[in-house]
Structure 1
Amino acid sequence: MVTLLHIDSSVLPGEASSSRAVAAAFLEAWREQHPQGRVIHRDLAAAPVPHITAAGWSAGQTPAAERTPEQAAAFGERVRLIEELERADAVLIGAPMHNFSVPSTLKAWLDNVLLPGRTTGESPSTQGTPVTVIASRGGSYAPGTPREGFEFVRNYLEAVLERTLGMDLDFIVPELTMAPRNPAMAELIPLYEASRRRAFEEAARKAKELAERLAA
């Protein structure tokens, strides 16, 4: 049975969130290919994981027999998240831009699953796992745009997911999502609509291609 781990982090519900809406299109195409597959959904906005504590961090550097009860409990929560990630055949992450970076809830999840000697290091346990990120944003931060230097989502996730966890990373980027709601961006609505259509098309296509690849 193929398992997809789906991580949502947008504070907005349903269709109000571009990352959730595009992820839903991805899931629909995925389920068509894997009707018997398993989807594990972790909504970090509805049920945030604890921010990593001194006990949770230090436990990873301490032999199991020497951990305090506090360390053992905190580390157990980290291991639960790590094993969930390790068991996934593919991962889908909704990562909307919040104030130029990822939501703090997503950062907390990443802090928990990054464990030297296991998920990071010379042979990460997540090496090669495909991960698709829906990186929605209210404006445009593409190369050549005025706010290019304010983009801290893609470069951060490339560093963490691809270069640290060793995952096979792909992005879908619906942008200008504030255009319909911000009168000052009204002239950008056609570009927003084109970006949204492209994101939904990419989600359906990439989900199908990934599902077929894993089934081969």
Structure 2
Amino acid sequence: MTVLRIDGSIQGVRSSSSALADLVMEPIAARLPDEPVLRRHLGRHPLPADAWAIAVGAAYVPEDQRTAEQRDALSLAQAVAAELRDADAAVLALPLYNWGVSQHVKAWIDLAIIGGGAGVPLLEGKPVVLVVTRGGGYGPGTPKEGWDYATPYLRRILAEVWGADLTVVERELTLVGVNPAMDALTDLAAVVKTVAEDEAKAAGRALADRLEANASAAA
């Protein structure tokens, strides 16, 4: 069995989403140490921004007439789709940037769709934990309520298009302590962080339970 982990943060070691994903992964590493983990870090190693458009165009060209660039783009798209299709579970750490998904994450999703086929459920029935982090507050009654366009989109792609059995862990106010204008929210941010960490640990335990059960059934 294989666990696919995708990170989308550009924050490196300061990444709140990656820290939560680490907590999700801890029970798996402890209880299933031999379970292979395939990692793709979209923030650190972004996919080519033009690969999707090239792959789409290549699909309309007879195979023997495709350029090397078109063949490479299609090969990359098929590889990205295969990582999803071949995984037994996935942990995705995809923070909110500029009120939506980052260009790195969108490129990854677009390539998976062209590589696997539009509407093909690449994660059909598989357990997937999505970690979403947001710098500000987007809850009911806040000035930015409704401005998170990433999480609904990711839910739609992962659960409804790709068929994942989806669990979402969310953390807000990650810019408290970074942006002085948010200092008044320090106590609330600490509570939100603790809740998110507890949810990440619980999601990790549930995912490890599921993988152990699958391993036992296959034995």
TM over 0.5: yes
Q: Is this contact kept in 2: 1:30–1:208, CA < 8 A?
A: yes
Number of the residue aligned with 2:194: 197
1:127 maps to what in 2? Answer: 124
Deviations 1:71-108 (A, max 9, x none): 22210111111111111111111111111112211111
**Alpha-carbon contact 2:100-2:148 (below 8 Å) kept:** yes
- Cα-to-partner distance string for 1:146-184 (whole Å, 9 max, x where unaligned): 211211111111122122222222211111111112222
Farther off after superposition, 59-68 or 189-198: 59-68
Once residues 88 and 31 of structure 1 are traced to their aligned partners in structure 2, the CA distance between those partners, rounded to angstroms, is 16
Deviation at 1:68, TM superposition (A): 4.2
SS at match of 2:40: strand
Tell me the distance in 1 between the aligned counterparts of 2:151 and 2:76.
Answer: 27
Name which of 135, 151, 154 aligns with 1:157: 154
1:175 corresponds to: 172
In structure 2, C-alpha distance between the alignment counterparts of 1:187 and 1:125, rounded to whole Å: 44
Q: Structure 2: which 5+ residue stretches go unaligned?
A: 214-219
Question: Could you say which residue in structure 1 is the equivalent of 2:216?
Answer: none
Counterparts in 2 of 1:125 and 1:18: CA distance versus 1, 3 Å = closer
Number of residues paired by the alignment? Answer: 212
CA shift for structure 1 position 40? 1.1
Structure 1 counterpart SS, 2:82: helix
In structure 1, the partner of 2:10 is: 11
Q: Where has structure 1 moved over 6 Å in runs of 4 or more?
A: none
Pairing 1:100–2:83 present? no
User: How far is 1:64 from its partner?
Assistant: 4.2
Query: Tell me, what secondary structure is at the counterpart of 2:91?
Result: strand
The within-5 A match list for 1:10-29 is 10-14=9-13, 16-29=14-27
Deviations 1:36-87 (A, max 9, x none): 1011111112211112343211334556456444322210111111111111
- Contact 1:133–1:169 under 8 Å retained in 2: yes
TM-score by length of 2: 0.88
| CA distance in 2 between partners of 1:202 and 1:151 (Å) | 20
Letter in 1 for 2:110: D
Deviations for 1:162-211, whole angstroms, at most 9, x for unmatched residues? 22222222211111111112222112111111111111111111111112
d(CA) in 1 for partners of 2:154 and 2:60? 24
Determine the C-alpha separation between the residues in 2 that align with 1:214 and 1:64: 39
Q: Are 2:52 and 2:114, in contact at CA under 8 Å, matched by a contact in 1? A: no
Q: CA RMSD in A?
A: 1.9
Tell me, in whole angstroms, the C-alpha distance in 1 between the residues paired with 2:138 and 2:77: 33
Distance 1:29 1:139 in 2: 29
Structure 1: stretches of 5+ with no match in the other structure = none
Contact 1:90-1:130 within 8 A present in 2 as well: yes
Alignment partners' CA distance in 2, 1:180 and 1:46:
24
Deviation at 1:10?
0.7
